[in-house]
Structure 1
Amino acid sequence: MSDSNELTGENLKERDEFRKRINNSKELLDLDSAAELLSKEYSDLYDVNLYIFRSFKRETIIEIRFYRKSNFDPDYFALVKDTPPMFHSKITMPIYAEEAIKFDVNWESGGGFNHAW
């Protein structure tokens, strides 16, 4: 689980590298534990995004990244304070994905993409 405000960096590449380092050091949670944590924070959640962080033959690690309503400026917070959170599931596609029928979902965690042009 990741609060989007904990991700820092000058640009997208730096933020992604920082995110990977943080996620690699976190303890894995099972689905019930993650759901319990989300339900405790439900009233403050604005947006919840599920990403495939790493996948193995019999296990997939999902990163749950969320945005909190309380992190918004006061004017926008007043607009969204009573709205339920949005939920999205996403997969980060490599640049060659439009041409490829299949691609390795672990392309980000493998230190870049390995693709035969």
Structure 2
Amino acid sequence: MKKAELENKIQDATSSLIDMATDICWNKISRNCVYIMSEIDESIGKNFFELARIRKKSNDKKVPKTLNGIVTELTAIYENLYDINLYIYKSLSNKTIIEIRYFLKTSHTAEFYPTIINNEPMLHCKVARPFYVTESPKSNKAERKFDVNWELGGIRHEWNKFIDKLKYRIWKIKYDRKRKLRNKNVG
């Protein structure tokens, strides 16, 4: 992606992101978008839930900007950009806040940096999926739609987590019983 194409590419990726989210989420997602930016933190030793909590706390303090404002900031660091990822941070009835998470070339190891120094940044759009909607790969069931704002928490998200954990515990008890019976019959 060339520097001159940055605004158009982000605008196209935003449209694709909203289309993807509309297909798999039950929310009505506004196309009136504003943006926030975050550098991807690859801290070792922090788990996913801790990183998500820290990111939410940080993002809630940020003032969303227009596409022009965000492109200006990205242009300033363009030469050092390695990867740009668009996510829906929050979807409200009248606007959608898109989080742009970027990864810098200088964040890579010293050995890898020379191989990417002249690469143009990559652009991706992704919809985060909660663990409780994913079906097994061999399942014929369609995945159920979910709340696009699930990462922000809320009663529905907590309820779905509870139900999924309960289903897992029931499965585990049944599995352990079958294993004990099998071992008893073998021995």
TM range (shorter): 0.7 to 0.9
1:77-96 residue CA offsets vs partner (Å, 9 max, x unmatched): 10000011110001111123
1:57 counterpart residue number: 93
Aligned residues with identical type, % of pairs: 38
**Paired residues of 1:50 and 1:62 also in contact (CA < 8 A):** yes
Task: Please list every run of 5 or more consecutive structure 2 residues that lacks an aligned counterpart in the other structure.
Answer: 1-36, 135-142, 164-187
1:75 counterpart residue number: 111
The structure that has the greater radius of gyration is: 2
Matched residue type, 1:47:
D
- Aligned counterpart in structure 2 of residue 107 of structure 1, from 150, 157, 163: 150
1:66-108 residue CA offsets vs partner (Å, 9 max, x unmatched): 00001222211100000111100011111233430x2110111
Counterpart CA distance in 2 for 1:54 and 1:9 is 27
Task: Please list every run of 5 or more consecutive structure 1 residues that lacks an aligned counterpart in the other structure.
Answer: none
TM-score, normalization by structure 1: 0.87
1:88 counterpart residue number: 124
Give the CA deviation at 1:6: 8.0
Count of residues in correspondence between the two structures: 115
Moved more, 90-99 or 35-44: 90-99
Q: Is it true that 1:42 corresponds to 2:63 in the alignment?
A: no
Counterpart CA distance in 2 for 1:43 and 1:57 is 36
Counterpart CA distance in 2 for 1:111 and 1:8 is 28
Structure that is richer in helix per residue: 2
Structure that is richer in strand per residue: 1
Counterpart CA distance in 2 for 1:109 and 1:57 is 16
**Paired residues of 1:8 and 1:18 also in contact (CA < 8 A):** no
Matched residue type, 2:149:
N
Aligned Cα root-mean-square deviation (Å): 2.0
Give the CA deviation at 1:59: 0.6
Give the CA deviation at 1:30: 1.2
TM-score, normalization by structure 2: 0.56
Matched residue type, 1:40:
A
Matched residue type, 2:59:
N
